[in-house]
Amino acid sequence: MSLNIMEYLPIIIPLVILQLILMVTALLHLIKNDRLEQNNKIVWALVIIFVNLIGPILYLIFGRKED
């Protein structure tokens, strides 16, 4: 049972790219969002960074406070 990483690259690379795009988008929106308090921004930044693929999605769905 040898693990050949090259077999999984076509799956891993798009997931990593998607993760980075979501993270950057969510962090940029978080920085520009003036409606959130500073403490909430810190918590959301930690969620976005450390909860991988789900963190940015959670912020973009629930964390944004827009009109």
pLDDT digits (tens, 9 = 90+) for 2-57: 678 888 889 999 999 999 999 999 999 999 988 888 888 999 999 999 998 889 98
User: Nearest Cα to 48, choosing from 35, 36, 60?
Assistant: 60
Distance between CA 61 and CA 33 in Å, rounded? 14
Q: Is a pLDDT exceeding 50 seen at residue 67?
A: no
* Prediction pTM value: 0.78
Q: What is the distance of C-alpha 60 from the center of its chain?
A: 9
Given this model, what pLDDT does residue 37 score?
87
Report which residue type is found at 62.
F
Instruction: Name the more confident of 37 and 65.
Output: 37
Q: Say how many Å lie between the first and final Cα of the chain, rounded.
A: 54
Q: Is a pLDDT exceeding 70 seen at residue 66?
A: no
